[in-house]
Structure 1
């Protein structure tokens, strides 16, 4: 029948060459931005999970005694006392040379000679627990340090890093929100394109109906055309996003920061990124189909 021949050649209903016009490039931009936002959210999630697992049982003990000889004696006594505390998996007293290297960027290496007196630096003991640093476990460490090192102060690493985690979690939520907003923007762009194509081909569609074509068959023509454009645009968008993601990954890897390194994408993350153009194409096709069917019901 004539409507079958017309429907099989969807270019007569939507006369445009593939990858021409603005729609494929709009989809490419949307997919690229979605993939970049998703990659940022996944990287932040990996960094948060890795850092939390690493410092969950971390405790820092600072011996604040200003006198060098007393501080050294209290630090040694604190190490021996902490060894007898239950749930302690390991501990390490940070060497003085390492502490000097940590404060050198802020105070300089020759500050003692310049001022004529050394600045007292607290002794640090890094303690690792076999589980989370709960208030009860912190209290147990504080009790044994009362006599061994009266000037010692106990801090859970997860406590003073909590603001950092909260900020990273907020950025992750923002990334997920951007993905949702971009999906909505993609659906809106397809909706407008489908309505525009319907208006431009209204006379042809009426002829198809007179020849026996159904709304579903007409919608399939639009759905197929949008699907081709979305697939092509999505592929281009994903390629652009991968270039940006890999470039940023190399730059952040050069920082050599542990928290940044722990945010590297794993193979499951790359799989999710590869699904972005596929899901975008399905969303575009579904939006086009529903839009056309809804508009055709109003036309007839």
Structure 2
């Protein structure tokens, strides 16, 4: 081999190419994250996270609305005065109102007129009907004070003694129980859906990890040959898939937060309309609060953690 003017030997022709190839191989990840399969897995994780986060947000909205409903229902009780032959219904209503106002813990008492009581039946019987011949009960709404607590059993006993067989007190305990059961059922369904979505995420990661292991079998064999143990290989896969899960979880959680914020904005725009009033009465203002936003972010983090753990377990089982 000839020498240059300075007496130095030129490097071999393939030295630079060999060094470049070594550098590329050294910097290349064991599990590529920029391929089409990796992007597809990140998209699947993002979609599943989005669905799970939406479900968690909806469950939080229903739970908070149920608390408001229960508070509104528990804050009032109703006294029902039934008309009876030979009795003056107006006089019985006056007696019931007086007994309610004498009870400690009662903030406000209002007796509905006969016309108002009949109007309450219009959603079931229709309008324009003459209900004068029907024994429509008279209703008295009683709003409870925050403190002291009203002694409702004592009021019920006094009504029974003063107006036997005519007056009765409804504390809405049945409706509160039904509201609580409905809210708990919806929240339970939401938790179940979130669990199923995370399970689907784990299955998708399992299949993707097995495919990556099969595609990198030669690389794994070379790593074993040069002394790499199973823990090193498992950590490498876990780190790569955790990044994919973190990317997909962040995209899905961000999209869910944007969707919930959009729903809240639309609810505020519709609030002045009759339909908006009905929606707000049923579901509130679509404000999920800090717990709802925290649950959405937590689902995104859990999705990435599940991705990393499942990939590590799958790799260890594949290597074993």
TM surpasses 0.5: yes
1:83 corresponds to 2:106: no
Q: CA, structure 1 residues 283+68, in 2 after alignment: closer, same or farther (shift >3 Å)?
A: farther
Q: Mind listing any 5+ residue stretches in structure 1 that lack a counterpart?
A: none
> Which position in structure 2 is the counterpart of 1:272?
295
Give the whole-Å Cα distance in 2 for the aligned partners of 1:225 and 1:231. 10
Q: Mind listing any 5+ residue stretches in structure 2 that lack a counterpart?
A: 1-20
TM-score (norm: length of structure 2):
0.76
Give the whole-Å Cα distance in 2 for the aligned partners of 1:184 and 1:73. 65
> Which position in structure 1 is the counterpart of 2:69?
51
Where do 1:22-171 residues align within 5 Å? 22-65=40-83, 70-96=88-114, 98-112=116-130, 117=132, 119-129=134-144, 137-150=151-164, 151-171=166-186
Where do 1:101-250 residues align within 5 Å? 101-112=119-130, 117=132, 119-129=134-144, 137-150=151-164, 151-242=166-257, 244-246=259-261, 250=266
Give the whole-Å Cα distance in 1 for the aligned partners of 2:82 and 2:279. 30
Q: Give the aligned length.
A: 290
Q: CA, structure 1 residues 219+183, in 2 after alignment: closer, same or farther (shift >3 Å)?
A: same
> What is the CA deviation profile of residues 226-257 of structure 1, one whole-angstrom value per residue up to 9, with x for unaligned ones?
12322232233224434554566546962245
Q: CA, structure 1 residues 131+157, in 2 after alignment: closer, same or farther (shift >3 Å)?
A: farther
Higher relative contact order (CA 8 A, sep 6+): 1
> What is the CA deviation profile of residues 52-100 of structure 1, one whole-angstrom value per residue up to 9, with x for unaligned ones?
2333353211111168982221111101112222443443323555445
> Which position in structure 2 is the counterpart of 1:9?
28
How far 1:289 moved relative to its partner?
A: 2.2
Q: CA, structure 1 residues 295+19, in 2 after alignment: closer, same or farther (shift >3 Å)?
A: closer
The answer on whether the counterparts of 1:238 and 1:277 sit within 8 Å (CA) in structure 2 is yes
> What is the CA deviation profile of residues 148-204 of structure 1, one whole-angstrom value per residue up to 9, with x for unaligned ones?
434112111122342343133212111111112222221222122112211111111
Give the whole-Å Cα distance in 1 for the aligned partners of 2:217 and 2:248. 26
The answer on whether the counterparts of 1:37 and 1:178 sit within 8 Å (CA) in structure 2 is yes
RMSD of aligned residue pairs (Cα, Å): 3.4
Give the whole-Å Cα distance in 1 for the aligned partners of 2:98 and 2:33. 82
